[in-house]
Chains A and B, each alone.
Chain A
Amino acid sequence: MEDDKVSLTDSQKKARRGRSVAIALALVAFVVIIYVVTIVKMGPSILDRPM
């Protein structure tokens, strides 16, 4: 069973880490954009609504 495992080379690990960081940054940026745009378009009063 040990032979079935794929072990990544150093360059593959480094590349994967780089891609993961880039995806994380893009996701965070997208969340921030949607958050800020929501406030800009709807105004701060979006938080003052009856529950």
Chain B
Amino acid sequence: MAMDEKKMIEKLDESTKDITVPKKLLPENIMNTINDSKKGKKVIHFESLRRSGVTKKLAGVVSAAAVLIVVAVAVYRLPAGDKSAENTMQFMDATEAAGESMVIAQTGNVSSYDEVYKEFEKHKTPQPSWFERIFYGREEKYMLTEDAVYNGALEMETQAAGTVAENMSSWNEAGESADAAAGAGYSKTNVQTVGIDEADIIKTDGQYIYYASSNLHTVTIYRVNGEETEAVKNLYVEEVGGLSEIYVDGDMLLAVGDSYRNEKYQIVLAKYDITDRKNPKLVGTFSQEGNRIETRKTGDIVYVVTEVRRNADNIKKNVPETFIPSVCDKLLEPIDIFIPDETQGTTYTVISSVDIKGDLKQIDSAAVLGFNGTFYMGNESMYLYRTRYATSESGEFAYSSGERFTEIRRIDYVKENGLIGAITEGKVPGVVKDTFAINEYQGYLRIMTTSYPGYSNNESVNNVFVLNQELDIVGSIEGLAKGERIYSARYMGDTAYFVTYRETDPLYSVDLSNPESPKIMGALKIPGFSEYLHAYGDNLLLGIGIEQIPDKDGWNTDYIKLSMFDTTNPYDVTEKNKMILNDANDSMALYEYKAVMIDPQKNLFGFVTESYGNRTNGTSNKDCYRIFTYTDSGFVELVTHEVEKGDVYGTRSVYIGDYVYIVNENGVTVYSIAER
């Protein structure tokens, strides 16, 4: 398209912006509108009846979230072992924001299943009227059909669940460097928090490479020695249902999978003794109801996080199975179930700790009703957070007063023994881009958000908040980079870096050394934007992102861009070097941090890129796995390994010594990186 056409389109865009979207069509009202719209057609489907329940739920969500001010309430539960609710020690601490009223939320575990049942009852779909009963025939028939519809929906849900869970992880976590792996002589999974391992499709221990293929349900174990690689075992993993990821620790292999068993969606772990790599032995399994959100491993304990959805219309008072989640096919006890005051909906987040030393015994569990969100695990606590819509107190939507905010729940855990403890709630204005933007450090939680005070994307502002143990905001900088939004973030000790984007790529540095008074140190403006930041040694910060370059028609095309920022002086960050990959337009690295193999001490990183082919400069449309190193004069691409189109998402690499192994379902390719 010619430039003047483009200009005209921009002009049209500008001059048609002043239109006001009717209330009915605002996001927070849309579920009601959808429901009304169906009713308006005078065709009542079973499906729409079900949906009216859904709508109710959503409406409840909106009004329950009526207060934006930061209120944090901590209710501490005694560690497992004392299973009496009376002994639950509670203390509350709420902070009142100036000039605003305050709602105190109470988070507490329950003393009986009846309490849970009562909570679910609130979410029931109203019973059909006599007219509807006649309309639909006998009530039993209606109930049956309802079940069928719901089950059908559920089935579809889990089909996609594998993909969802896989994808969740990509935007869920904030990473810290794999520097911990340094010295080991081989790469480790790129993780969110140093010291906390994460499951992945590829693992290495320096002698073997383990690759999990969900398509083939197998874990392939390769023995590697320099250029020699040998597949010593194709372990068919059937115990876990759909195999997704693995952990390897010494002579233990832990497979993680998603399955449908005993009429429940479950996450299943299977532990194998791989002392004899050619002959792995199954040691034990663990199962937890729900769709997989995340798993984490610290030492000999694995934490399993799932989301359990229950339909309030299908619960039966005397059958707790219908509304209580189970772990290892055993119902959770009331003490393990938390119903916060601001419960929204009938989805649980269930967290269990599992002892992986033995045969996968459950250590402790906690189920939080009415809260599902993105998971982040720091060294002291676990966090769930999610975006909500603010409303004014009358229940009317009020963009101006509040727009979106992020709700946070902290779940404490004891690293040494796996006990899962207190639950604390808090809120901050704005939306969290991914868990790179949330970080626990020396007792404080730091969060960067983008908020939209004027409900238009053009009026977005960015904020940095520091929260204390009670999740009260103790320090903040608000209103940064108007009109832009956060694309990537990274914390390095007392300093936070974040990249916002509109047209250029300002990299901001923030001084958080005094938690109560964060300060902006500097902003560097360069073209393009980084989607992923990774500390590269002490004074360098690697950015992997996109630079847009207009083609001959004036349309912007995305190219993968590497930036090396020099952070020696956080007050004056510079882009020391950059490299634009002119035959790469997209990369898993932008969405899934575990797809990045990186070890700054080894001075090596790699990821897969996709190419759409380029009409302008005639470059190829080959997808490649690329390995880079960095020198003072810039990035050097050490390896460019072509990957077949279908294998892009399953292709990963590890390095061991001076060799890089690029692995996918088709096998291993070895590259020597010794002569660099």
A binds B: no
Give the A-binding residues of B (Cβ under 8 A).
none
Give the B-binding residues of A (Cβ under 8 A).
none
